[in-house]
Amino acid sequence: MTNITKIFLVLNSGSSSEKFSLYEGEDEVCSLYFEGVEDAGKKKFICTITRADGSEEQLDKTWDSLDVAFREAKAIFEKEGFINAAHPLDGILVRVVAAGKYFSANHIVDDDTMKELEKVRITNPLHVPGTERGITNARDTFPDVPVMVISDSESLTKTSRKDTEYALPREIIDEFDLGRWGAHGASYGYMMNRIPELGLLKKRMVVCHLGSGCSVTALVDGMPAYTSMGETPLEGLMSSTRTGSIDPTIGALLGEKLGAAEAIKLMNKQSGLQAMAGSNDMREIIAGAEEDNPDAAAAYNLFIDGVAGKIGEFAAKMGGIDAIVFTATIGERSIPVRNSIISKLEFMGFKIKNDVKLDKAKGYANIAKEGSKPIYIIPTNEAAYMIKKASELLDDVA
């Protein structure tokens, strides 16, 4: 029996969690989520399995360390019959949120990859350790399976970009390999393919990726021109736990007080909507704002102003906007957020209506009122883009 459809394991390594998503082609057939819980004052790890039909089951077993996750995941996938001798893994994919020239491209992992990861620890102390752990465990557990790092900025590092530089001394830029690399690249890469496929391409478009992390990217003729994130995902919009762009002096002061790594952690993991409103769930923040909770209202208004302001900035840079796209969890699902953003952009020719639902058969919805420029909801599929890029890597070495 031959393995015609490639089977990929997509890994998402957090500081205290590990998620394994198994795909046959672009279809997710099973996922495993290992997360830490408190048990009698000690951290234990549990695993939830989600099958293709959406059913979930928490496994009746706990582990003392997250390091066992890969070995246990392999055993679970084999027991469930998803991988075996007839259907072996073709590759393990690890998304890399790391800046620099090396990681603006996709690679099959080798010793050079690990050396390059060490180099970017200084600017990415939150993401790199989990990435290194995942890659190391993947190579140990599946020694014969290629592990691939899929860049979270590759789709954005194009010559069409007009905002890649920082106004810093060249020797500093070269020493730290600094640049506005951007992030959420798997989502934007998918959109750059999907928008033309759907016949929706306009000359000047803005795509709003609004989820737990938030960013905005401007496309001219379907190619990236401007993006809101920079050297790291911290630059740009505030989001669930990130400050977004703030006075750099604040970062320097926090670094002096807390140390660089703790300051970066605070600005990435303990700020944003969570810090302002006490919740990083946009639904709770909207409810709080409607109940006149001043903290929730302040957080919501700052969030909306940030997104609308970035769209306006890109409109000025492009000389106008012909269409707006909303994607990711908040962008796709939150009517209040979309309404609030678009209400600030009516002067640009955008008006929204609420009684339009996503047409799954069409793959998108135009939620603009008659006479308005198009406003689209297009679901993103980052895994599909990662799998496409992984297949290209494997084809290149075949």
The DSSP output letter for 374 is P
- pLDDT tens-digit series, residues 355-392: 888 888 899 999 999 999 999 999 999 999 999 999 99
Q: Does domain 200-382 have CATH number 3.30.450.20?
A: no
Taking the CB of residue 141, how many other CB atoms lie within 10 A of it? Answer: 16
Q: What is the DSSP string of 163-192?
A: ----SS-HHHHHHHT-----S-HHHHHHHH
- Residue 320 has a CB neighbour count (10 Å cut-off) of 12
The stretch 292-314 carries a mean pLDDT of 98
pLDDT, the chain, mean:
93
Q: From the candidates 152, 174, 177, 295, which is the catalytic residue?
A: 152
Beta bridge partners of 215: 209
Using pLDDT thresholds of 50, 70 and 90, give the confidence band for residue 178.
Answer: very high
Residue 25 zone, left/alpha/beta (φ > 0; ψ -120 to 50; rest): left
Based on the residue annotation, tell me whether 152 is a catalytic residue of this protein: yes
What class is the 7-151 domain? alpha beta
pLDDT tens digits for range 321-354: 999 999 999 999 999 999 999 999 999 999 999 8
* Window from 20-29, 33-42, 259-268 with minimum mean pLDDT: 33-42
**How confident is the model over 58-93, as pLDDT tens digits?**
988 888 888 888 899 999 999 989 998 888 999 999
pLDDT the model gives residue 4:
60
How many angstroms separate the CA atoms of 173 and 168, rounded?
Answer: 7
Query: Is-same-fold flag (7-151; 200-382)?
Result: yes
- What residue spans define the domains of the chain? 7-151, 200-382
Q: Please write the tens of the pLDDT for every residue from 40-60.
A: 778 889 999 999 888 999 988
What residues form DSSP beta bridges with 21?
10, 31
